[in-house]
Amino acid sequence: MEPAISVRGLSKTFNGTVRAVQDISFDVANGEAFGFLGPNGAGKTTTVSMLTGGLAPTAGQATVDGIDVFHHPHEIKRRIGLVFQESTADPDLTGRENLELAAALFGVPRREVEPKIDSLLERMQIGDAADRLAKTYSGGMRRRLELGVGIIHSPRVLFLDEPTLGLDPQGRAGFWRYVQELRKEHGMTVFITTHYLDEADTICERIAIIDHGRIVATGTPSELKDRLGGDVVTVHPSRTGPDVEAAIRALPGVVAVTSYDGTYRVKAPRGEELIPTLVEACTRAGVGLTAVSLKRPSLDEVFLEFTGREYREDEGMTATDRAVRLGQASQALGRSRR
């Protein structure tokens, strides 16, 4: 089966100098949740804009749902769903009116509109607020409404560009629960950029890490973590010494041992399997253990490994990011008002 999204050698240079996206290639399978992770200015929004018919690339090719994105940008816009980080719901319309407007814009058949909107409103848990103006909604409600607007025409591929930025944990959880339900029901392919690595870890089946416009790693979250050499077992021994360290280092499965402040940090692909042999070896060497802990690497460590930088969730958006998004949002609104 053809991939839902196929990207080859895609590049975008702004003003002849800003190389926002540089020669990226990847496929996203049908029904997959694909995460696109990277720090601010990495090229995520630029990529989403190119894949959704909003921005012409400098070089490369891409198809979405089998359609060439660059030759048929209007067809792409009709087919896909897109949720921006910026609010695109009209604050002076009710939730229901926002959905009606989107349904008209996307040419949803008239007799399908009402049942569809009713069921969406209920699923989004804003049924009670359906006839209230969107400006009275909480951030989480507004995001769910915008997700409803993005999928009113039952797209097969949905793009979410940092959809939960600024939401509280509860709002984020509610948003993702709803996305997961939609995926289960409709087998929708979802392309997600997010600032929150933990989110990507739970939602996405596969991830690409983008840095300075280039993809630096691709894989499932666990593949990426495995590439770091696996888990870290931290041992607090009753005493330390070269003999203790040597005994640990000699155990099967141990990749590396570092000593730190009276403890040993032991890297092993399967930390939980190492613990029994580790305890046994220490006992044999006459060393007691006061504590043993197991830590699985998180995507934060993966990120650090592949980009050489700590991931900062709280940086928010760049000014350009904001300007680009606002431009896109007002374009979308302009389109809908015509």
Ligand X SMILES: Nc1ncnc2c1ncn2[C@@H]1O[C@H](COP(=O)(O)OP(=O)(O)O)[C@@H](O)[C@H]1O
How far is Cα 337 from Cα 49, in angstroms, rounded to an integer? Answer: 21
Residue whose structure tokens are 């990426």: 224
Cα end-to-end span (Å), the chain: 38
Smallest gap from Cβ 43 to ligand X, in A, equals: 4
Nearer to ligand X, 83 or 145 (CB): 83
Please answer whether residues 317 and 165 qualify as being in contact, where contact means their C-beta atoms are separated by less than 8 angstroms. Answer: yes
Smallest gap from Cβ 210 to ligand X, in A, equals: 7
How far is Cα 261 from Cα 240, in angstroms, rounded to an integer? Answer: 10
How far is Cα 316 from Cα 329, in angstroms, rounded to an integer? Answer: 18
DSSP letter, residue 132: S
Smallest gap from Cβ 190 to ligand X, in A, equals: 17
Ordered strands of the 231-237 beta sheet: 256-260, 263-268, 231-237, 289-295
Judged by beta carbon distances under 5 to 8 A according to partner kind, the member of Mg ion, ligand X, none in contact with residue 121 is none
**What are the tokens at 4?**
């839902």
If one asks whether residue 163 binds ligand X (CB under 6 A), the answer comes out as: no
Residues 299-328 within binding reach of Mg ion (CB under 5 A):
321
Judged by beta carbon distances under 5 to 8 A according to partner kind, the member of ligand X, Mg ion, none in contact with residue 17 is none
Judged by beta carbon distances under 5 to 8 A according to partner kind, the member of ligand X, Mg ion, none in contact with residue 116 is none
Residues 299-318 within binding reach of ligand X (CB under 6 A):
318
φ, ψ for residue 175, nearest 5 deg: -60, -50
Interaction mask 117-156, ligand X, x per CB under 6 A: ----------------------------------------
Smallest gap from Cβ 145 to Mg ion, in A, equals: 21
Residues 25-64 within binding reach of Mg ion (CB under 5 A):
44-45
Enumerate residues 6+ apart whose C-beta is below 8 A from 211: 38, 39, 42, 306, 307
> Element (H or E) spanning 111, and its range?
helix 110-123
Nearer to Mg ion, 45 or 98 (CB): 45
How far is Cα 35 from Cα 28, in angstroms, rounded to an integer? Answer: 10
Judged by beta carbon distances under 5 to 8 A according to partner kind, the member of ligand X, Mg ion, none in contact with residue 61 is none
Smallest gap from Cβ 322 to Mg ion, in A, equals: 9
Choices 42-50, 56-64, 214-222, 282-290 (CB under 6 A): range interacting with ligand X? 42-50
Residue selected from 2, 9, 14, 59 as contacting ligand X according to rule CB under 6 A? 14
Report the C-alpha dihedral over residues 265, 312, 305, 57, rounded to 10 degrees. Answer: 170
If one asks whether residue 88 binds ligand X (CB under 6 A), the answer comes out as: no
Residue selected from 4, 7, 10, 20 as contacting ligand X according to rule CB under 6 A? 20
Instruction: Give the residue among 338, 327, 274 at the shortest CA–CA distance from 88.
Output: 327
Binding site for ligand X (CB under 6 A): 14-15, 18, 20, 38, 40-46, 318, 320-321, 324
Binding site for Mg ion (CB under 5 A): 44-45, 321
